[in-house]
């Protein structure tokens, strides 16, 4: 069959799956014949030494050897070698039913860019998923993904999923490990692609080796990916809240007697307000830096608002602002020292003194922080502005009511 005529490529990542890869290849090949779909079965081998390659080749699968280790690396290698218009991935441990892929194909034919299986709707055999994953890990991470990225998926870690070849080329997936699946869902949702889900069943695996999945290691990687894909909720919003709270609270304490009922707010509270401002500004800077790194590494689509902001900023802007703040801090510190000296170190109220010292120290620290942040921003700026391939799909081009239309009742 000519490569340009292929409609579907079924890709299986494989690392020492001799006990099950043959069954998976046979089921996938039988599905293609039964459904009359022009397609191919690809085994993306990640360094098997147990005969998995020979078994797959003997059954007619196209074997792609991927030297770079990792679940995501294997799938990326398999997708690049695929010739089908649509790509479906599934583990080679016989946990997913490769004989029932028609719901995926139908959603692709209807215009979906990404189709994800949902094991919680399709059914999970007893013992097929560890209780920690089934009742805690997967539901929590899925709810986070729905909240942060607006994805309609109810099972973000289902291993049976697919995407069109054009969507794969647009997404430029970068993850090498198990977080590959999360990156696919996050980026496709952020780019406004048509994401659908279909029920799929999870069976007990037939592997003859220990699982590659490591609960805590892969869980940490997933949380790291959430930070990279959506830094606003970890850095930006808390940073803005702390900065505003500290600024308003500090101004209130300095300008009034700051009394609410029986509570008296004095320099002790002022010190905490200063710390809140300092930490808030730091978190806000981290948000900008993380977003720039994520865009430069093709982990997230570029943000036009952030791009305009970065273009308008110059390093000397930050250096000048930092210098002004440090000068103000030095002036306040000198004033406090002079006032303290003139009273011969005894008559000045120490609480009154701290009302000058705390803002002055804050101004010094904040000025240095702004200056250093501007220098670090200038280092990230060049590569960030050169990365212009990831753009958000304009709202007018987005599929209306994607989440509602694709949710499986």
Of 153-167, 217-231, 241-255, the range with the lowest mean pLDDT is 217-231
**CB pairs under 8 A, 24+ apart, for 384-389?**
384/292, 384/295, 384/296, 384/307, 384/310, 385/307, 385/310, 385/311, 387/295, 387/296, 387/298, 387/302, 388/302, 389/172, 389/298, 389/302
Torsion of CA 280, 284, 285, 287, to 10 degrees: 140
Phi, psi of 184 (to 5 degrees): -60, -45
Amino acid 401: pLDDT:
40
Question: Is the confidence at residue 44, as pLDDT, over 90?
Answer: yes
Q: What is the 3-state secondary structure (H, E, C) of 310-367?
A: HHHCCHHHHHHHHHHHHHHHHHHHHHHHHHHHHCCCCCCCHHHHHHHHHHHHHHHHHH
Mean pLDDT of 354-383: 90
| Percent of the chain topping pLDDT 70 | 87
Helical (H) or strand (E) element with 149: helix 138-149
For tokens 């189709």, name the residue: 115
Mean pLDDT of 23-29: 95
The chain-wide mean pLDDT, for the chain, equals 84
Cα gap 42→24, rounded to integer Å: 11
Amino acid 406: pLDDT:
43
Mean pLDDT of 101-122: 94
More confident residue, 276 or 142: 276
Contact 377, 310 (CB under 8 A): yes
Question: Is the confidence at residue 346, as pLDDT, over 70?
Answer: no
Question: Is the confidence at residue 3, as pLDDT, over 80?
Answer: no
Amino acid 215: pLDDT:
60
Amino acid 399: pLDDT:
41
Amino acid 309: pLDDT:
81
Mean pLDDT of 315-326: 91
Amino acid 243: pLDDT:
95
Question: Is the confidence at residue 95, as pLDDT, over 50?
Answer: yes
Q: Where are the beta strands (DSSP E) in 37-85?
A: 39-45, 62-65
Walk me through the domains of the chain, giving residue ranges and CATH numbers.
3-229 (3.90.550.10), 232-393 (no CATH)
């Amino acid at each position: 069959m000519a490569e340009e005529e292929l409609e579907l490529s079924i890709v299986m990542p494989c690392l020492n799956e001799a006990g099950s890869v043959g069954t998976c290849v046979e089921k996938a090949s039988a599905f293609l014949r039964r459904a009359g779909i022009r397609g191919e079965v690809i085994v993306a081998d990640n360094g098997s030494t147990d005969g998995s390659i020979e078994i797959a080749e003997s059954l007619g699968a196209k074997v792609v050897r991927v030297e770079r280790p990792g679940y995501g690396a294997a799938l990326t290698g398999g997708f690049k070698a695929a010739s089908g218009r649509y790509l479906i991935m599934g583990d080679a441990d016989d946990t997913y039913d490769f004989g029932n892929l028609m719901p995926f194909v139908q959603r692709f034919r209807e215009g979906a860019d990404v189709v994800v299986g949902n094991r919680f709707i399709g059914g999970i055999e007893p013992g097929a998923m560890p209780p920690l994953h089934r009742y805690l890990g997967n539901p929590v991470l899925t709810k986070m993904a729905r909240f942060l990225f607006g994805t309609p998926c109810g099972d973000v870690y289902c291993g049976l999923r697919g995407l069109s070849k054009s969507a794969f080329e647009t997404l430029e997936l970068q993850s090498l490990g198990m977080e590959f699946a999360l990156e696919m869902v996050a980026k496709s949702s952020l780019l406004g692609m048509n994401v659908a889900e279909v029920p799929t069943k999870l069976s007990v695996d037939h592997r003859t080796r220990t699982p590659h999945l490591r609960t805590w290691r892969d869980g940490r990687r997933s949380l790291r990916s959430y930070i990279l894909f959506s830094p606003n909720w970890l850095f930006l919003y808390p940073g803005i809240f702390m900065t505003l709270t500290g600024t308003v609270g500090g101004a209130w304490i300095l300008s009034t007697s700051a009394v609410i009922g029986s509570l008296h707010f004095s320099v002790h509270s002022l010190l905490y307000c200063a710390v809140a401002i300092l930490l808030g500004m730091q978190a806000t800077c981290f948000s900008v830096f993380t977003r720039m790194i994520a865009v430069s590494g093709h982990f997230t689509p570029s943000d036009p608002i952030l791009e305009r902001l970065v273009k308008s900023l110059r390093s000397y802007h930050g250096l000048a602002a930092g210098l002004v703040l440090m000068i103000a801090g030095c002036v306040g510190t000198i004033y406090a020292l002079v006032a303290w000296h003139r009273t011969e170190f005894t008559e000045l109220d120490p609480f009154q003194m701290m009302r000058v010292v705390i803002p002055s120290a804050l101004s010094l620290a904040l000025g240095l922080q702004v200056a250093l942040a501007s220098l670090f921003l200038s280092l990230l700026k060049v590569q960030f502005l050169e990365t212009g391939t990831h753009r958000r799909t304009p709202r007018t081009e987005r599929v209306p009511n994607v989440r509602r239309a694709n949710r499986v009742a």
